[in-house]
Amino acid sequence: MVLFGGRKASGNKPYALDDTWTWNGTTWAEQTPKDHPTARYDSQMAYDAATGQVVLFGGWAPGGIRSDTWTWNGTNWTRQTPATHPPTVAGASMAYDAATGQVVLFGGLQDYTLSDRTWTWNGTTWTEQPLLTAPPPQEDTQMAYATGAGQLVLYACDNADLDGSNSTWTWNGTTWTEQAPASTPPVRYNADLASAPAAGSVVLFGGEVPGGDDAFLHDTWTWNGTTWNQQHPASHPPASFDGAMTGDTTAGNVVLFGGLGGNESTILRVHGTWTWND
């Protein structure tokens, strides 16, 4: 598992980092690649199983939002020069779609405007998908692949209107379909979402609730392909949002690192690594 960049826990601006770390199931190790992306946060990153590489796109960097594409081969970062690519974007949703063998990028703050555009990466270039139906324009939401259901899942929040609405969408390789689950997590932004490799489900943790003084959550939900189910673990990470979370296929669990917590008046950097076992 690979982690790149992010925001510093403390210190003077700029907050962006450019370090690369790997997780082997028990510990973190900082890597020293010859080349790497510039310092940034809110970039999009996903493992491309078709090429065996990690793909990174865009993000906030000193000077503005980026539109560059990088791949990690296990030892070094390489900047790619695709014929086409999305515009500058930060805070988009990006995940690997095992059904089509492509990486999918949705939404985000594209050219400083909330977007509902969908792009796919085939290992060499980006292609925008022409769609009649799509989730609402948004940023800082996540999507993940549910292996048991064979679908890419997006937990969407309409943060274009900030009207307190949410929805669940699935991607079949050509179109988005809104789902009507029997139960769903309460409305939130910036939740952490990841594939749970052992159960073949998707796990959602925490997030930021619109409004309120203590507007951060620590609840856990899983998606089984048709509905969301709240879980009640004996222990859990502190209430937080905007962490880094992904499924570890080697260990068969989900790993969560960092995030933001506290309350609306005192937002704190959350440290620590947590694992979720199905």
pLDDT band at 36 (very low <50, low <70, confident <90, very high): very high
Look at residue 225 in the predicted model and tell me its pLDDT: 95
Residue 159 has pLDDT above 70, yes or no: no
Long-range residue pairs from 58-64, CB within 8 A, at least 24 positions apart, any chain: 58/86, 58/88, 58/89, 58/90, 58/92, 58/108, 59/5, 59/90, 60/16, 60/90, 61/16, 62/14, 62/16, 62/38, 64/88
261 vs 274, which has greater pLDDT?
274
Residue 37 has pLDDT above 70, yes or no: yes
Alpha-carbon Rg for the chain in angstroms: 17
pLDDT (average), residues 114-136 = 94
pLDDT (average), residues 195-202 = 93
Q: What are the boundaries of each domain within the chain?
A: 131-278
Look at residue 189 in the predicted model and tell me its pLDDT: 84
Residue 271 has pLDDT above 70, yes or no: yes
Look at residue 14 in the predicted model and tell me its pLDDT: 59
pLDDT band at 226 (very low <50, low <70, confident <90, very high): very high
Q: What percent of the chain has pLDDT over 90?
A: 71
170 vs 268, which has greater pLDDT?
170
Look at residue 209 in the predicted model and tell me its pLDDT: 82
Q: Is the bond leading into 14 cis (omega within 30 degrees of zero)?
A: yes
Lowest mean pLDDT among 34-38, 157-161, 186-190: 157-161
Residue 76 has pLDDT above 60, yes or no: yes
Q: What percent of the chain has pLDDT over 70?
A: 91
Residue 269 has pLDDT above 80, yes or no: no
Residue 163 has pLDDT above 60, yes or no: no
Look at residue 258 in the predicted model and tell me its pLDDT: 87
pLDDT band at 111 (very low <50, low <70, confident <90, very high): confident
Q: Which residue has the tokens 């949705």?
A: 106
HEC readout, 126-138: EEECCCCCCCCCE
For the chain, report the end-to-end CA distance as a whole number of angstroms.
19
Look at residue 112 in the predicted model and tell me its pLDDT: 84
pLDDT (average), residues 195-212 = 88
pLDDT (average), residues 144-158 = 91
**CA pair distance 68, 97, nearest whole angstrom:** 21
Residue 253 has pLDDT above 90, yes or no: yes
Q: What is the CATH number that goes with domain 131-278?
A: 2.120.10.80
Lowest mean pLDDT among 52-56, 130-134, 144-148: 130-134
Q: What is the pLDDT of residues 231-251, one digit of tens each?
A: 999 999 999 888 899 999 889
